[in-house]
Amino acid sequence: MRSYRLRRIAGRFGLYLSVLALISPALLVFLWMISLSLKTEIDNMDYPPVFIPHPPTLDNFAQVFARNDFLTYTKNSVIVSFSATALALLVGVPAGYGIAKARATRAAMLILIARMTPGLSYLIPLFLLFQWLSLTGTLVPIVITHLVITVPIVVWVMIGFFEGLPAELEEAALTDGATIWQAFRHVALPLARPGVTVALILSFIFSWNNFIFAVVLAGRETRTLPVAVYNVLTFEQISWGPLAAAALCVTAPVLLLTLVMQKEIVAGLTAGGVKGG
Amino acid sequence: MADTITAQSAASPALALRHGRNYARRYWVFIVPAALVVLTVIVFPWLFTLYMSVHEWHIGGTRSFAGLANYARLFTDDRFHWAVLHTLYFTVLAVVAPLVLGVAAAECFHRNFRFRAVARTIFILPMMATPVAIALVWTMMFHPQLGVLNYLLTSVGLPPSTWVYDSTTVIPTLVLVETWQWTPLVMLIVLGGLASLPTDPYEAARIDGAGPWTMFRLITLPLVWPFIVVALVIRTIDALKAFDTIFVISQGGPGTSSETINIFLYLQAFAFYDIGYASAVVAVFFVLIVAISLVLLGVRQRARWQ
């Protein structure tokens, strides 16, 4: 009996040890990012590295925000991610419903193939298109290209949710003389609200994180945050503190959203392995 | 390019059967707006790429019909061949490592323990974080003299690594970042599979005196296999397409030693403005991705029938 108990304790200990080993790489990177952003330049260039900032300083953040173009880029990112997500919901939610109801597997396949295509391959033709329409230099091209990411996410998540709904309620509404639009608007849509939330969060996050479209399409005034941070790295004297502070500012909204909406995000991702990029 | 690959549940077959095909067809109205968007931003680029790929076309320069010359050029371009090899090397590593770790992680997170929710949230953060921001932090960590990683290695008695500053270590190092970032996705997919498993076989096996490893090998692995294959397909597609972290951390260097097809494509299109040739690269790249996906989906079909 005693050996059984011992083995149980050892097993428990092993489990906690494995979990610690699993989360420590994530902890290392995020804590190191925070540490770099809170230290003076002298501490950041010290070797062996200084782990705990003493005393912590907010100078790096002040430096990032002192450059007013960083606020412009934040505004750009907010506009792009919100517009791309809103437009995707507007067209994607009904489409998910239509595909689920009509069981249009071929339309679903198209979305799958779109997912397989590298983002860069959309970029060359769209780049030319925007030049011809003389839209370069505005945020419009960036919003439109982000639809390449957000529309498939929304459609795919919504197909899954609408297929999971019981058909009886809509059938009852249709039998009572409702049009299919009314059945969608007043019966299916309210039931699928959790699905809309999941689609909204995922499409916002992957649009916010996107780098490849804006790095090609954005001009000086229309950079999104990931591009702005990348440019800090390439074109300026590298100083780690402000760079880490800027990186933290860019990814913080997404990390906070993940912490708050963890359940919805996990549900959406396990439903299908949604990913942007 | 987001999306998913999961078994689709059957959509209310009762409803469709009762009303017949015409009934289902009425729902196409709902799809029209999205279809228009998809046509403009997804299908139009595909077709236009094919058109460009048979032309000699430079941005700001002349263009003329070139037939299959761009494709022929791909066959003789050594830099492209190396890019294909780098991509395949990167992909194999960046699929296997997250799959093995992800399955192990799912096995851990499937159990009940205190702080499980907190630990799981921390574990999935890398996948949601902005790739460019993360890539910058890794770049600072890889610094050969001042980087924290070499400090950690030497403090436990290991030799320092050259990380992304040497052509032999750069791809494994980029795989390390990719693994750090995407193991959580594999974990979530497999965890979903584990949650759906019946408990009876485990009880029967326990009565028969099976150990944990035997149970994992003979019960868990075969039952979650379809989920592992889904994760395999998703990981393969994503690894083939990897761009952000490679572009930020190594820019394909040193030299061209970590130049994947995607980086090669970027340079042809937006550094050399040779978009005719770049379009041919896109077409070949696309065929490669679809071919590999179909092979893996074939594996998936077989997994389902077993």
Tell me the C-alpha distance between B90 and B264, whole Å.
14
Choose from B87, B137, B248 for mutation: most chain A CBs within 10 A. Answer: B137
- Residue B205 inside a domain? The answer is yes
- Residue B114 inside a domain? The answer is yes
Q: What's the pLDDT score for residue B10?
A: 41
**Average pLDDT, stretch B246-256?**
89
Q: Which residues of B touch A16 (CB under 8 A)?
A: 113
Find out whether A125 and B49 touch, Cβ atoms under 8 Å: yes
Looking at the structure, tell me whether residues A124 and A219 fall in a common domain: yes
Give the single-character DSSP code of B274. Answer: B
Of B1, B36, B132, Cβ closest to residue A117: B1
Is the ipTM here above 0.90? no
Looking at the structure, tell me whether residues A36 and A68 fall in a common domain: no
Would the CA dihedral through A242, A244, A245, A251 be positive or negative? positive
**Average pLDDT, stretch B186-197?**
88
Looking at the structure, tell me whether residues A65 and A37 fall in a common domain: no
* d(CA B149, nearest CA chain A) in Å: 10
Looking at the structure, tell me whether residues A245 and A124 fall in a common domain: yes
Q: Which residues of A touch B33 (CB under 8 A)?
A: 90-91, 94-95
Looking at the structure, tell me whether residues A67 and A38 fall in a common domain: no
pLDDT, tens digit (0-9, with 9 covering 90-100), for A231-252: 877 655 668 888 899 999 999 9
Domain that holds residue A111: 60-272
Number of domains in chain B: 1
Tell me the C-alpha distance between A170 and A186, whole Å.
9
Number of domains in chain A: 2
Question: Angle B241-A122-B227 (CA atoms, 0-180°, nearest 5)?
Answer: 40
Tell me the C-alpha distance between B166 and B169, whole Å.
6
Provide the percentage of residues in chain A whose pLDDT is more than 70: 94
Tell me the C-alpha distance between A215 and A142, whole Å.
10
Is A125 a residue whose pLDDT tops 70?
Answer: yes
The 3-state DSSP class for residue B58 equals strand
Is B31 a residue whose pLDDT tops 90?
Answer: no
Contact B1 A107 (CB under 8 A): no
Tokens 């970590």 — which residue?
A: B258
Looking at the structure, tell me whether residues A160 and A87 fall in a common domain: yes
Q: What is the CATH number of the domain that holds B229?
A: 1.10.3720.10
pLDDT, tens digit (0-9, with 9 covering 90-100), for B64-92: 888 888 899 988 999 999 999 999 999 99
Looking at the structure, tell me whether residues A10 and A68 fall in a common domain: no
Provide the percentage of residues in chain B whose pLDDT is more than 70: 90
- Residue B301 inside a domain? The answer is yes
Contact A152 B2 (CB under 8 A): yes
- Residue B63 inside a domain? The answer is no
Domain that holds residue B103: 78-305
Q: Which residues of B touch A23 (CB under 8 A)?
A: 119, 122-123
Q: Which residues of B touch A216 (CB under 8 A)?
A: 270
- Residue A49 inside a domain? The answer is no
Q: What's the pLDDT score for residue B302?
A: 58
Looking at the structure, tell me whether residues A39 and A146 fall in a common domain: no
Q: What is the CATH number of the domain that holds A88?
A: 1.10.3720.10
Spatial CA neighbour of A271 closest among B188, B13, B114: B188
Looking at the structure, tell me whether residues A39 and A68 fall in a common domain: no
φ, ψ at B19 (rounded to 5°): -100, -5
- In this complex, how many residue pairs, one in chain A and one in chain B, have their CB atoms less than 8 Å apart? 334
Is B305 a residue whose pLDDT tops 70?
Answer: no
Contact A156 B108 (CB under 8 A): no
Contact A27 B122 (CB under 8 A): yes
Tell me the C-alpha distance between B171 and B259, whole Å.
9
**Average pLDDT, stretch B167-193?**
93
Q: What's the pLDDT score for residue B299?
A: 67
- Residue B254 inside a domain? The answer is yes
- Residue B142 inside a domain? The answer is yes
Q: By the CB < 8 Å criterion, does A198 face chain B?
A: no
Q: What's the pLDDT score for residue B2?
A: 35
Q: By the CB < 8 Å criterion, does A226 face chain B?
A: yes
Task: Report how far Cα B1 is from the mean position of its chain's Cα atoms.
Answer: 11
Choose from A45, A73, A270, A274 for mutation: most chain B CBs within 10 A. Answer: A270
- Residue B140 inside a domain? The answer is yes
- Residue A52 inside a domain? The answer is no
Mean pLDDT of chain A: 86
Looking at the structure, tell me whether residues A34 and A99 fall in a common domain: no
- Residue B152 inside a domain? The answer is yes
Find out whether A165 and A191 touch, Cβ atoms under 8 Å: yes
Which one of A66-75, B268-277, B294-303 scores highest in mean pLDDT?
A: B268-277
Other Cβ atoms less than 10 A from the Cβ of B113: the count is 12
Q: What's the pLDDT score for residue B119?
A: 92
Q: What's the pLDDT score for residue B93?
A: 97
Find out whether B136 and A229 touch, Cβ atoms under 8 Å: yes
Question: B124-148: b or e for each residue (b if 16 or more CB lie within 10 Å)?
Answer: bbbbbbbbbbbbbbbbbbbbeebbb
The band of B5, judged by pLDDT with boundaries at 50, 70 and 90, is very low
pLDDT, tens digit (0-9, with 9 covering 90-100), for B90-111: 999 999 999 999 999 999 998 8
Is B16 a residue whose pLDDT tops 70?
Answer: no
Q: What's the pLDDT score for residue A5?
A: 82
Report the range of poorest mean pLDDT among A205-214, B97-106, B289-298: B289-298
Tell me the C-alpha distance between A29 and B184, whole Å.
15
Looking at the structure, tell me whether residues A109 and A174 fall in a common domain: yes
Tokens 């970042």 — which residue?
A: B177
The 3-state DSSP class for residue B65 equals strand
Looking at the structure, tell me whether residues A142 and A7 fall in a common domain: no
- Residue A221 inside a domain? The answer is yes
Question: Angle A149-A150-A154 (CA atoms, 0-180°, nearest 5)?
Answer: 130
- Residue A27 inside a domain? The answer is yes
Q: Which helix (H) or strand (E) holds B118?
A: helix B116-128
pLDDT, tens digit (0-9, with 9 covering 90-100), for B45-65: 889 999 989 888 888 777 888
- Residue A216 inside a domain? The answer is yes
- Per DSSP, the residues of A164-200 read HS-SHHHHHHHHTT--HHHIIIIIIHHHTHHHHHHHH
The 3-state DSSP class for residue B56 equals strand
The band of B23, judged by pLDDT with boundaries at 50, 70 and 90, is low
Provide the percentage of residues in chain B whose pLDDT is more than 90: 38
